[in-house]
């Protein structure tokens, strides 16, 4: 298992905090319990969502912007405007993804009322009537938040959940 019974005789010092371990432990190279999640599937869902939104006439104006909604701090995956200039905030979930504690607490997202009509390869219709109206306040000082007016700016939007497989 990569461990030896003598101290590091040739100065390799593998970084293991153990007098006898001077090579890396291969057991840490794999995630046998599946606790180290990768975001590849989430990014796939976001890419599908962006394609669907553009196809449905939305103009994407921001991504991953932190905001406060009903006292809960959440991060919006995609912020877009429809053809009438109304702001829509989209939370993208992949497969059986769940809402975070703060997303649930905000009260503007509903997993049982997704706004996209297809969950597979994209190409579906975005049903704006499925969203929930709410007021948000930008809570990030980065360049990302300046698109919507910067930290402290409040406005109303329609919040949606998009689910992709």
3-state secondary structure 95-133: CCCCCCHHHHHHCCCCCCCCCECCCCCCCCCECHHHCEE
- To the nearest whole number, what is the mean pLDDT of the chain? 79
pLDDT of residue 5: 57
Provide the token pair at 50: 């962006």
Q: Is the pLDDT of residue 45 over 60?
A: yes
User: In 109-123, which positions are buried (b, 16+ CB within 10 angstroms) versus exposed (e)?
Assistant: bbeeebbbeebeebe
Q: Is the pLDDT of residue 16 over 70?
A: no
Q: Is the pLDDT of residue 1 over 80?
A: no
Segments in 30-76 forming alpha helices (H): 40-55
Q: Domains in the chain and their CATH numbers?
A: 1-36 (no CATH), 41-164 (3.40.1350)
CB 7 within 8 A of CB 19: yes
| pLDDT tens readout for residues 61-94 | 988 899 999 999 999 999 999 999 999 999 988 7
Q: Is the pLDDT of residue 21 over 60?
A: no
Which helix (H) or strand (E) element contains residue 143?
Answer: helix 143-146
């Amino acid at each position: 298992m990569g461990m030896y019974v003598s101290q590091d005789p040739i100065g390799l010092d593998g970084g293991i905090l153990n007098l006898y371990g001077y090579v890396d432990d291969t057991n840490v190279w794999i995630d046998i319990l599946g606790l180290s999640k990768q975001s590849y599937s989430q990014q796939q869902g976001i890419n599908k969502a962006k394609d669907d939104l553009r196809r449905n006439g939305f103009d994407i104006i921001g991504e991953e912007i932190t905001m406060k909604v009903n006292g809960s701090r959440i991060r919006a995956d995609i912020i877009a405007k429809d053809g009438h200039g109304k702001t829509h905030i989209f939370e993208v979930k992949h497969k059986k993804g769940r809402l975070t504690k703060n997303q649930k607490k905000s009260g503007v997202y509903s997993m049982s009322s997704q706004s996209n009509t297809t969950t597979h390869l994209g190409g579906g219709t975005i049903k704006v009537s499925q969203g929930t109206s709410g007021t948000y306040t930008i809570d990030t000082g980065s360049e990302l938040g300046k698109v919507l007016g910067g930290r402290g700016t409040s406005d109303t939007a329609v919040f949606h959940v998009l689910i992709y497989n």
